[in-house]
């Protein structure tokens, strides 16, 4: 450890970063992002942490004449919409948490 490092300053910076991290995590939990598939026939909503909050399936997806094919199509669209929403949540996480993780390397003495 560098003897010139001011320990009080280091502790203050660490506390500030911790507060910023808690705040960013709360923002992620409160944020909602959407993903869709099939031109919007299926829409998934997740929070910024990637937790599925809501799933909407347009009735136009349902073909009562072929239940097996409809079930397969709906399953594929649900998977695609959830993946799209989780990808968007990942981008939001990077936006909110990325600068904080980069700041760790800027603490004096590290």
- Separation CA 14–CA 103 (nearest Å): 10
Report pLDDT for 38: 94
Reported as a single tens digit per residue, the pLDDT across 28-57 is 888 899 999 999 999 999 998 889 999 999
- Separation CA 44–CA 89 (nearest Å): 11
Which residue's entry shows tokens 């009080």?
8
Reported as a single tens digit per residue, the pLDDT across 53-102 is 999 999 998 888 888 889 999 999 999 999 999 999 999 888 888 776 66
Per-residue pLDDT band for 105 (boundaries 50, 70, 90) equals low
Domains of the chain, earliest start first: 7-104 (3.30.1310.10)
Report pLDDT for 109: 47
**pLDDT at residue 110 greater than cutoff 60:** no
42, 78 contact by CB (below 8 A): yes
């Amino acid at each position: 450890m560098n003897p010139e490092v001011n320990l009080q300053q280091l502790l203050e910076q660490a506390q500030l970063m911790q507060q910023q991290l808690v705040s960013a995590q709360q923002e992620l939990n409160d944020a909602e992002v959407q993903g869709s598939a099939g031109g919007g026939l299926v829409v998934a909503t997740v929070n910024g942490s990637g937790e599925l909050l809501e799933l909407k399936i347009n009735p136009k997806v349902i073909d009562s004449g072929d239940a097996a094919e409809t079930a397969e199509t709906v399953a594929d669209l649900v998977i695609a919409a959830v993946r799209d929403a989780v990808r968007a949540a990942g981008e939001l996480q990077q936006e909110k948490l990325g600068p904080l993780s980069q700041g760790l390397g800027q603490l004096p003495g590290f």
